[in-house]
């Protein structure tokens, strides 16, 4: 090979390398431009209606996130069980096919046993006690424990923050004044073993049904009643098919915004900070909205013909004691005692 030829070949090779490098740089910059332009889009699925204050709070969370990140991190909210009921959404979050869900801690107890704590009857004295615990050291500790599954190891879930979900009360097609009125009747519960035991302890038959299917179940008489807060009753129009609501306030189970640990791990520190800041704002927004909504919803369902019954809570508290004894064991008992000690 002559000197001239090898120079020619070398020149060709260098040319190809330079061209590929140039294309790589152009393509890389284009990718970057796209991320900057469109932002990262995450998805959240939940089971409540668009009329529910929780949905409005999630939209607020999404707006805050777009604002604080200058549209670099966005959240799409899919309501009304479009992406599945609560348990299905938790499973998807765990496996990483869904980024976020808003769920009651009720069904979460099947994934992280410690969450059953929140389903214990009369755990909190009132709304003040509830928020003092959730916003304090105990609440934050419990939130971080969501990432650990029973017996150690990762759960795949990252807890982001609590929302108010008020107290849960029985509503039915018959008036309930005391536990004996539950006898021989079927009550819908979440997919939550503690809620099942609670209804049984009061003498009723617990029937787990996804929230999105409950209207039909009540209408068709598959169940005689259910238990929830006034905002959920009204926004799902259950008051059309259950004419009595008893203010027994047997539980105060929080709603939670949870994330897939896989998604969380993919985010930059900046993105994580944006999420935390928006969640904090959404939490205070939701608390205010909740207070108004709870009162208004109760007044509205009364206006639409529901009889609201003030009950003596004492016989309810007495009947559910064995449920507390059954679940308050080990670590859960430690948290139970710490919560009771918060004044
Ligand atoms: O998270 O299923 C239920 O009864 C829950 O209260 C509802 O999904 C709120």
Instruction: Give tens-digit pLDDT for 133-147.
Output: 999 999 999 999 999
pLDDT, tens only, 256-311: 999 999 999 999 999 999 999 999 999 999 999 999 999 999 999 999 999 999 99
Q: Give the model's pLDDT for residue 38.
A: 77
> Which position has the higher pLDDT, 343 or 11?
343
3-state secondary structure of 255: strand
Tokens of 244: 């009595």
Whether the pLDDT of residue 205 is over 70: the answer is yes
β strands within 139-254, DSSP E: 157-163, 168-172, 186-189, 205-208, 225-228, 244-251
Domain 168-253+295-341 has CATH 3.40.190.170: yes
Q: How far apart are CA 214 and CA 137, in angstroms?
A: 36
Tell me the average pLDDT across 200-209. Answer: 98
Q: How confident is the model at residue 240 (pLDDT cuts 50, 70, 90)?
A: very high
CATH of region 35-108+128-164+254-293? 3.40.190.170
CA distance to 100, 143, 257, 267, per residue, from 275 (Å) = 12, 15, 11, 10
Atom of ligand 1 nearest to the CA of 47: 8
Tell me the average pLDDT across 231-241. Answer: 98
Q: Give the model's pLDDT for residue 22.
A: 46
Atom of ligand 1 nearest to the CA of 86: 8
**Ligand 1: residues within 6 Å at CB?**
47, 86, 103-104, 165, 190, 211, 228, 232, 255
Reported pTM: 0.89
Cα-to-chain-centroid distance, residue 263: 17
Q: How far apart are CA 296 and CA 204, in angstroms?
A: 29
């Amino acid at each position: 090979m002559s000197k001239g030829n090898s120079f020619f070949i070398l020149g060709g090779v260098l040319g190809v390398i330079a061209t590929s490098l140039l294309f790589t740089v152009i393509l890389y910059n284009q990718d970057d431009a796209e991320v900057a332009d469109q932002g990262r889009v995450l998805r959240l699925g939940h089971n409540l209606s668009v009329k529910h204050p929780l949905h409005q709070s999630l939209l607020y969370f999404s707006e805050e996130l777009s604002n604080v990140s200058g549209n670099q991190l966005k959240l799409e909210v899919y309501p009304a069980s479009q992406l599945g009921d609560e348990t299905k959404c938790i499973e998807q979050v765990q496996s990483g096919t869904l980024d976020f869900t808003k769920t009651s801690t009720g069904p979460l107890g099947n994934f992280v046993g410690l969450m059953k704590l929140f389903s214990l009857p009369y755990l909190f004295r009132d709304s003040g006690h509830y928020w003092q615990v959730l916003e304090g050291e105990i609440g934050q500790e419990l939130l971080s424990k969501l990432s650990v599954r029973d017996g150690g190891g990762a759960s795949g879930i990252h807890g982001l923050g609590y929302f108010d979900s008020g107290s849960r009360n029985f509503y039915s097609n018959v008036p309930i004044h005391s536990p004996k009125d539950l006898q021989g009747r079927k009550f819908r519960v979440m997919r939550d073993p503690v809620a099942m035991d609670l209804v049984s302890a009061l003498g009723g038959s617990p029937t787990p049904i996804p929230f999105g299917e409950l209207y039909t179940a009540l209408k068709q008489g598959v169940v005689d009643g259910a238990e929830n807060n006034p905002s959920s009753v009204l926004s799902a129009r259950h008051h059309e098919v259950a004419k009595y609501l008893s203010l027994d306030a047997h539980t105060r189970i929080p709603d939670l915004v949870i994330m897939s640990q896989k998604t969380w791990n993919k985010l930059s520190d900046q993105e994580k900070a944006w999420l935390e800041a928006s969640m904090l704002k959404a939490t205070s927004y939701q608390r205010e909205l909740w207070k108004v909504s709870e009162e208004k919803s109760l007044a509205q369902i009364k206006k639409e013909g529901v009889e609201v019954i003030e009950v003596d809570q004492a016989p309810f508290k007495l009947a559910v004691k064995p449920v507390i004894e059954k679940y308050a064991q080990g670590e859960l008992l430690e948290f139970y005692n710490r919560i009771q000690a918060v004044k």
